[in-house]
Amino acid sequence: MAKEKDIKTNAMRILDKLKISYKVNFYECEEFIDGVHIAEKLGQSCDSSFKTLVTQGKSKQYYVFALPVDRELDMKKAAKLIGEKSLEMVPVKDINAVTGYIRGGCTPIGMKKQYKTVIHETAQLYDEVIVSGGKLGTQLILSPDDLAKACGAVFEDICV
């Protein structure tokens, strides 16, 4: 068996440090596949599987949003919620520089900096939610409250 230290992502180390209980799910994935296809491939609910989107406001500040993989971020609603005039998605080429993660492996836990983070309110309907584990082929399964605690997030309605 590989050394546990070798397979831990930054997100997992943070959860361990915070003494937050979580499960890890590894799956075969060589390149980016959207969250809906991954949930379907793994027999998971799209409602409790969350994707992580990174945006930038007019102020040049970055913001992180976690929402169900089959839902769309309401950019106007999200901007108003965080006090920005408007938001734009961070270009894929800039994701690693901003977050420390790659597309498909981006999780709201343990980014390079602690950005203001909002989780869609429906997460609170579930005992556990699924988010990326910090690299392709890795998922973290944990309670919504623990996810919010780990990334300093609030729950709000951010979807279309």
| Structure confidence by residue, pLDDT tens digits, 134-147 | 999 999 999 999 99
The reported pLDDT for the residue numbered 66 is 98
Q: What is the pTM of this model?
A: 0.94
Q: Are 27 and 42 in contact (CB under 8 A)?
A: yes
Q: What percent of the chain has pLDDT over 90?
A: 92
The reported pLDDT for the residue numbered 3 is 44
Structure confidence at residue 6 as a pLDDT band (50, 70, 90): low
Pinpoint the alpha helices (H) of 21-117: 35-42, 75-82, 95-99
Please determine, for residue 4, whether its predicted confidence score (pLDDT) is greater than 70.
Answer: no
Query: Domains of the chain, with CATH numbers?
Result: 4-156 (3.90.960.10)
Question: Distance from CA of residue 97 to its chain's centroid?
Answer: 16
Residue 119, φ and ψ in degrees, nearest 5: -110, 135
Encode pLDDT of 40-75 as tens digits: 999 999 999 999 999 999 999 999 999 999 999 999
Long-range CB contact pairs, 4-9, < 8 A, 24+: 9/107, 9/110, 9/133, 9/134, 9/135, 9/138
